[in-house]
Chain A
Amino acid sequence: MNLYRPELKRFRFLRWFDFRSWRLGMLAYILNRVTAIGLVVYLYLHLAVLFLLAQGPSGWDPFIQIARTPWFLMLDVILLAGLLIHGLNGLRVALTGFGYGVRSQKPLFIALMIFAAIVLAVGVFKMFMG
């Protein structure tokens, strides 16, 4: 598909993923959108899971058994990563959006992502070893 055809307006968002243009700011931009979509999907999944509570222990207890499996915990790791990336990058966007740290947006992103990685590592350790 050629994305430069002006008539293909409905596919314009695909240009976000044209990796030839990716620089750090663009990577942060794409990460924020991907994690945002993931968090919205999670929200609905969360509501669906909570609905199991209405079915009493017969519905809830089997789910808890599944939730404690390593494969399910991996989903928690992805969720935590999404929350950290989106939240911390959001902080950067808010700060620069109000005119603070504008010239430092790249180092700010790197520093926040290092912080996110550290928190994620601690979270993974707690989840699997705690």
Chain B
Amino acid sequence: MSLQVTLKILRSRPHQEQRYDTFDVTVPDAANVLDAIEQAWAHHDRDLMFRHACHHASCGTCAVRINGREKLPCIAPVKDYDGGEIKIEPLRNFPIVGDLVVDVAPFFQNQEASDFIITRPTENELDGKAIAHTQGLDPESAPTVPFNRFENCVECGICLSACPTMSADYKFFGPAGLAAIKRQLDKTTDANEREKLLHLADDEHGVWRCHSAWECTEACPQSVFPAESIMALRKEINAQRFKKFFRL
């Protein structure tokens, strides 16, 4: 079985007028939107700029807006948009390089500011359960084989695109950057390091700039809950101020 879909893609190049191009493509009914974009590139326009890598939502590279909402097209089934035109636009709040490709440098700069690393510390358990209980693992060897787990955040930039505050304030540290600070904070008990991280978040363009639209958490394809991290940071900062004020 195959599906006929019409893609309406925002085209742009530096110093050129933006326009929408439409492409009629045929894809298998199990195809995702990224497959349809690839069809458009392969059969209609080799100049079409888009970015992708893993095809299974672990790299976050392909993030775009599909019919106005931020999505990873590699896991967005075409049949979910059955019968209608699929409008594809680049992520918002990033400089556009061309077509669907945006410059994600500001995103990674903010991640780096908190010394964010992509793996968690070595773990002996999985979500609170000893890894020996995990199906397929040898119970004998499991306790002696701790593992490094990747963070849930795939660094797709969707949260920055969905954030309305980001639209109004490009200096805003952004949901992903603030969530990275929270994760770093959770990893350390060192007072100086915690002070440094909270100082980074406690800024006019930090946690206080968030106006609680919750779009980052809603749009996140990996259930990272960046908005909750922002609120948790505020709580920590308030607790710190309270303690300082009352000299506790």
Contacts and interface: CB of A to CB of B under 8 A. Distances in A.
B227 A4 contact: no
Contacts of B95: 6
Interface in B220-246: 227-228, 231-232, 234-235, 238
Contact of B215 (A21, A32, A99, A102): A21
A97 interface: yes
Interface string B176-196: 000000000000000000000
A16 interface: yes
A8 B73 CA distance: 27
A26 B215 contact: yes
A51 B201 CA distance: 46
Contacts of B167: 12-13, 15-16
A122 to B, nearest CB: 28
B162 to A, nearest CB: 7
Interface string A69-98: 000000000000000000000000100111
A39 B10 CA distance: 39
A13 B170 CA distance: 12
Nearest to B232: A99
Nearest to A33: B211
B68 A16 contact: no
Question: Which DSSP category, helix, strand, loop or mixed, fits chain A's interface?
Answer: helix
Interface string A1-25: 0101110000011011010110111
B69 A20 contact: yes
Given A2-B18, A20-B69, A99-B235, A29 B92 contact: no
A99 B236 CA distance: 9
B68 A4 contact: no
Given A4-B10, A4-B18, A29-B212, A102 B231 contact: yes
A102 B18 CA distance: 40
A103 interface: yes
B234 A26 contact: no
Given A12-B167, A13-B168, A23-B218, A98 B235 contact: yes
Residue from B67, B90, B214 with most neighbouring chain A CB atoms (10 Å): B214
Given A15-B164, A16-B164, A29-B213, A98 B234 contact: yes
B89 interface: yes
A103 B238 CA distance: 19
A16 B90 CA distance: 17
A2 B238 CA distance: 41
Interface in A88-118: 93, 96-99, 102-103, 105
Residue from A93, A102, A103 with most neighbouring chain B CB atoms (10 Å): A102
B164 A26 contact: yes
B228 A102 contact: yes
Contacts of B218: 23, 25-26
Contacts of B49: none
Residue from B164, B218, B228 with most neighbouring chain A CB atoms (10 Å): B164
Contacts of B212: 25, 28-29, 93, 96-97, 105
B215 to A, nearest CB: 5
Interface of A: 2, 4-6, 12-13, 15-16, 18, 20-21, 23-26, 28-29, 32, 93, 96-99, 102-103, 105
Given A6-B95, A99-B232, A102-B231, 13 more contacts: A4-B18, A12-B168, A15-B164, A15-B167, A16-B168, A21-B69, A21-B162, A23-B215, A32-B211, A96-B212, A97-B231, A98-B234, A102-B232
